[in-house]
Amino acid sequence: MDEANVRQKARAFIAKVDVSNIQEDLSPYVTAANAKVKKDELGEGESGYTITKPNGKHIITVNSLETNERQRFTICHEIAHIVLGLESSHEEVPSWSYAKRHPNEIACDTFAAELLMPYQLWLSAVPREEPSLELLQHMADLFGASFPAAASRFASLSDMPCAFVTMERGAVRYAARSTSLRQVGAWISPRSVIPTGSVAHRLRSSGTSTTETREVSQDLWFDNWEKGLDLWELSRHYARVDTTISLLWFDSEDLPEVEVNRFGARIEDDGGLPELTGELPWPGRNRRR
Ligand SMILES: [Zn+2]
């Protein structure tokens, strides 16, 4: 199940639910999944789990010691396990770690983000202006989501060339890109190190949890990229978990004029080129069934 497939399934699930008050109350989702939510004090790092009763009813238990936004995410994540029929493997790594997470868990996180921030509600609520710390925090608060989740959503649904990069222990783990950025073939290598000269690099080197926005050179971030153009980078570092996030964006006028594919080659108009999804390939994506 690839990422597009997961998003499609989430949107199909949402279409059957009244989401008008979903920012306040997730119960329409819970009901649609034939589930019930129980709150309990679980161990540190344990966000939640689901038990299915013989009558088919699912009991989702969430850790009442975690923040409200975290509990909301957990409920949506558990609903994903139910709706997608994917087994959970929560034991292996802490939930904040993208690096070694099981593909099922990443799929359920993607599904959960769709549920927490339904794209139609998001698009009608998002201010049509340049991103800023305030704007992203406003959107996170509005949808009861974490700052990184809101920043990632902003990038993937933005109509400006925009990307969201997650870095752990100094290495790029994941990049989400807006449609317009994907269309020009902007590519950020997964597993590459945080580029020297970027805001992310400086914040991480400082070792403190802080946020900063600054202009940097575009070719710092994108492979095989034209030199001499700048972009904005809003970066936040979380020292405790050694995780850094960056939102990157630029004016359309600052896009290089040559269209390239993600390998840096010019796109020939032969009509036969597969659509560049721009998403990082997931483990097992190319495996034939
Ligand atoms: Zn899970």
Residue 180 and residue 273: Cα distance in Å, rounded?
17
123 Cα–ligand 1 center, Å? 27
CA of 80 to the centre of ligand 1 (A): 8
Q: What's the 4 CA to ligand 1 centre distance in angstroms?
A: 19
How many angstroms is it from 155 CA to the middle of ligand 1?
A: 24
Distance 39 CA to ligand 1 centre (A): 17
- Residue 157 contacts residue 49 (beta carbons within 8 Å): no
The single residue listed with the structure tokens 């925009």 is 162
Domain boundaries, the chain: 3-116, 119-254
Higher-confidence residue: 87 or 134? Answer: 134
DSSP, res 254: G
> How far apart are the CA of 90 and the centre of ligand 1, in A?
6
Q: Are the beta carbons of 2 and 102 closer than 8 angstroms?
A: no
CA of 17 to the centre of ligand 1 (A): 22
Residues 41-78 have pLDDT tens digits of 999 888 999 999 999 999 999 999 999 999 999 999 99
Best CATH choice for the domain 3-116 from the list 1.10.1330, 3.30.420, 1.10.10, 1.10.3470:
1.10.10
- Cα(199) to centroid of ligand 1, in Å? 32
pLDDT at position 97 is 55
For residues 235 and 249, what is the distance between their CA atoms, to the nearest angstrom? 12
Residue 89 has pLDDT above 80, yes or no: no
Q: In this structure, are residues 165 and 146 in contact, taking their beta carbons and an 8 Å threshold?
A: no
Q: Give the Cα separation of 116 and 78 in Å (integer).
A: 12
State the average pLDDT for the chain: 86
CA of 27 to the centre of ligand 1 (A): 19
- Name the more confident of 44 and 91: 44
CATH of domain 119-254: 3.30.450
Identify the pLDDT of residue 287.
Answer: 34
Distance 183 CA to ligand 1 centre (A): 32
pLDDT tens, residue by residue, 180-222: 888 888 889 887 899 999 999 999 999 999 999 999 999 999 9
Alpha-carbon dihedral of residues 140, 143, 148, 149, nearest 10 degrees? -160
Distance 72 CA to ligand 1 centre (A): 14
pLDDT, residue 207, reads 94
Tell me how far the alpha carbon of residue 274 lies from the centroid of ligand 1, in angstroms: 32
231 or 97: which carries more pLDDT confidence?
Answer: 231
